[in-house]
Amino acid sequence: MTTPRSLFSRHLLFSLMLTLAIPAPSQNSPVTQQSHQGPAQSENRVLTSTVADGFRLTAVGDLIFAGPLLRSSEDRLKSVETLLRDADVTLGNLENTLIDLRVFHGYPQAESGGAQLIGSPAVAKDLRSMGITMVARANNHTADWGVEGMRETDNAVDAAGLVHAGTGENLAAARAAHYLDTPKGRIGLVSMASTFTPMSAAADPLGESPGRPGLNALHVTPYALVTSEMMQGLRKLRDAQPKGLAESWTEGSQEKPNELELFETHYRIGEKAGGFSYEMRENDLLEILKSIRKGKENADFLIATIHAHEPDIAVPTEEPGDFLPKLAHACIDAGADAFVGHGPHRLRGIEIYKGRPIFYSLGNFFFQITALEPLPRDTYEAFKADPATSTDRDLMAKIVKMHFNEPVWYESVVAVSQFEHGELSEVRLYPVELDFPARTTRRGGIPSLADPIVARSILETLQRLSKPFGTTIDITGSVGVIRLHR
């Protein structure tokens, strides 16, 4: 979870854009120029899947899970647990820090992913008991409670028998694939994040300098798109500032005619103003792709997963950042058999590329943010709440009403991908809803299969979001189906 107060919010950027009368980001811009449905180009893959016939991957979205589960919560979950348990692998994104403050020796960090999310170590066992077997760990909340919290969460996940990836004692460890052995083959997982707090990025050692624990970071640079006339205005604004206030201090850099950095914000001339374009740090990308290649060499099936809010939850958009299709395609070309995105807490489109599924965001699966406790003083101060008169539930309910007060944040799907002879044969999409009416109570944010009316609405939204990628979703009853034709 993040909010406009997160480290990545662009409040200064937006104020400048409003001053310059730049329109809001387009909701209808094309996402990618090439998409492929079906396995027509699978013969170009470097490494093919070698899992046994009938392999089934089930993927869900973000897991913000306070736990442990109440009996009433278990009743809601019964309708989805069968889907989770029937898979050979079930994957989700764990955003909580799982710690017991009675024995925890760390601290809430001064920076967080929007709020210092916390949960009981028992959450890990609950996830495993309901059928989840692998979790991504690289996200903007990985270090909410410091390296100590990251380590204790990883230990709790290990103790529960969950395979996880995306964190480690140095960057190489965080980037490495981790494996789950199943009767149908060995499954690898590489987890990365493009949305993260700066202090949470892992680093490798160099000479006598030790490495740094943290997450597998993919650094991306956002560029706000402006017209040529707006760029001229920005240059005039830059040139009018006192010396040393607005210049770029990058050593040896030469300013490009179509780009400008001003007040720590990057601008680029685009076809039209509004929205963002992104550049991935080349070394990060190359190392992540190498981890995928290496992981696939040691596995029968490899999943690449990313936590990406871009553009930003502060500016809600249904489209992924323009770097994500490029990244997803590159990961599949490097050997990934599936690419699973999460982070924006809402659904985004689905693409089939070279016969492999790409889920740009699966939204939320658990979203128990009003059940999180205790909250540190920093969270109260960030949201201007008085801890003398407000409880943790009061504060989180306030945040829900400010930023997550629409059903879209509480509607998602369970995505079940079926593989035959190592190739994707179909994807089934089972709509779930997280009890939006109970969103400000402890019981809110827990999934169950959606009723037929809500299910159809969710699937029709996903049809619309997936159409720009060339993906056709048929609706059969309350289930969406993507069929690959040979």
What does the pLDDT look like over 136-163, one tens digit per residue? 999 999 999 999 999 999 999 999 999 9
Determine, yes or no, domain membership for 23: no
Same domain, residue pair 197 and 298: yes
Over residues 325-336, mean pLDDT: 98
**What pLDDT shows up at residue 86?**
95
37/354: higher pLDDT:
354
Same domain, residue pair 258 and 159: no
DSSP for 4-72 reads: TTSTT--HHHHHHHHHTTPPPPPSS----S----SSTTGGG-SS---PPTTEEEEEEEEEE---SPPHH
The strand pairing partners of 13, in sequence order, are none
Number of residues that make up the chain: 486
> What band does 58 get if pLDDT is binned at 50, 70 and 90?
very high
**What pLDDT shows up at residue 43?**
43
Determine, yes or no, domain membership for 33: no
Among the listed residues 168, 120, 106, 25, the one whose alpha carbon sits nearest the alpha carbon of residue 368: 120
**410/139 Cα distance (integer angstroms):** 20
What is the chain's Cα-based Rg? 22
Same domain, residue pair 70 and 142: yes
pLDDT score of 244 more than 70: no
Out of 26-35, 291-300, 362-371, pick the least confident.
Answer: 26-35
* Tens-place pLDDT, residues 75-92: 788 889 999 999 999 999
Determine, yes or no, domain membership for 289: yes
Determine, yes or no, domain membership for 166: yes
Considering its fold, how many domains does the chain have in total?
Answer: 2
> What band does 313 get if pLDDT is binned at 50, 70 and 90?
low
Same domain, residue pair 435 and 356: yes
Same domain, residue pair 174 and 255: no
**335/187 Cα distance (integer angstroms):** 12
Same domain, residue pair 211 and 237: no
**What pLDDT shows up at residue 79?**
87
Same domain, residue pair 214 and 237: no
Distances (CA, A) of 437 to 70, 73, 293, 355: 18, 15, 45, 39
Out of 15-19, 188-192, 318-322, 469-473, pick the least confident.
Answer: 15-19
Determine, yes or no, domain membership for 4: no
**What pLDDT shows up at residue 67?**
73
> What band does 70 get if pLDDT is binned at 50, 70 and 90?
low
Distances (CA, A) of 266 to 142, 263, 291, 424, 484: 27, 8, 30, 40, 41
> What band does 16 get if pLDDT is binned at 50, 70 and 90?
very low
Same domain, residue pair 377 and 239: no
Determine, yes or no, domain membership for 31: no
> Could you tell me how far CA 75 lies from the centroid of its own chain?
28
**What pLDDT shows up at residue 440?**
87
**What pLDDT shows up at residue 248?**
57
Out of 10-19, 175-184, 342-351, 390-399, pick the least confident.
Answer: 10-19
Q: Domain ends where: 206, 236, 269?
A: 269
Mean pLDDT of the chain: 88
Tally Cβ neighbours within 10 Å of residue 242.
Answer: 6
> What band does 442 get if pLDDT is binned at 50, 70 and 90?
confident
**What pLDDT shows up at residue 192?**
98
Same domain, residue pair 398 and 418: yes
Is pTM, for the whole model, over 0.75? yes
Phi and psi for 442 in degrees, rounded to 5?
A: -60, -30
Over residues 1-13, mean pLDDT: 44
Same domain, residue pair 300 and 262: no
**What pLDDT shows up at residue 265?**
87
**190/164 Cα distance (integer angstroms):** 9
Out of 128-142, 266-280, 319-333, pick the least confident.
Answer: 266-280
pLDDT score of 282 more than 50: yes
pLDDT score of 228 more than 50: yes
pLDDT score of 290 more than 70: yes
Q: 429 is written with which tokens?
A: 């999409």
Among the listed residues 152, 160, 170, 180, the one whose alpha carbon sits nearest the alpha carbon of residue 90: 180
Determine, yes or no, domain membership for 175: yes
**What percent of the chain is modeled with pLDDT above 70?**
86
Over residues 192-221, mean pLDDT: 97
> What band does 36 get if pLDDT is binned at 50, 70 and 90?
very low
Among the listed residues 421, 429, 430, the one whose alpha carbon sits nearest the alpha carbon of residue 486: 421
202/379: higher pLDDT:
202
Please report the beta strands in 5-88, taking only residues with DSSP state E, as ranges in sequence order: 55-64
> What band does 316 get if pLDDT is binned at 50, 70 and 90?
low
**What pLDDT shows up at residue 2?**
56
**443/441 Cα distance (integer angstroms):** 5
Same domain, residue pair 163 and 291: yes
Distances (CA, A) of 301 to 45, 173, 286: 13, 20, 20
**What pLDDT shows up at residue 85?**
95
Among the listed residues 126, 176, 177, 178, the one whose alpha carbon sits nearest the alpha carbon of residue 156: 126
Checking phi first, is residue 181 left (phi over 0); if not, alpha (psi -120 to 50) or beta?
Answer: beta
Domain assignment of residue 259, given as a range: 228-269
**291/427 Cα distance (integer angstroms):** 26
**What pLDDT shows up at residue 71?**
54
Same domain, residue pair 171 and 189: yes
Q: What is the CATH number of the domain that holds 330?
A: 3.60.21.10
Determine, yes or no, domain membership for 26: no
- H helical segments located in 36-187: 71-85, 122-129, 146-159, 171-175
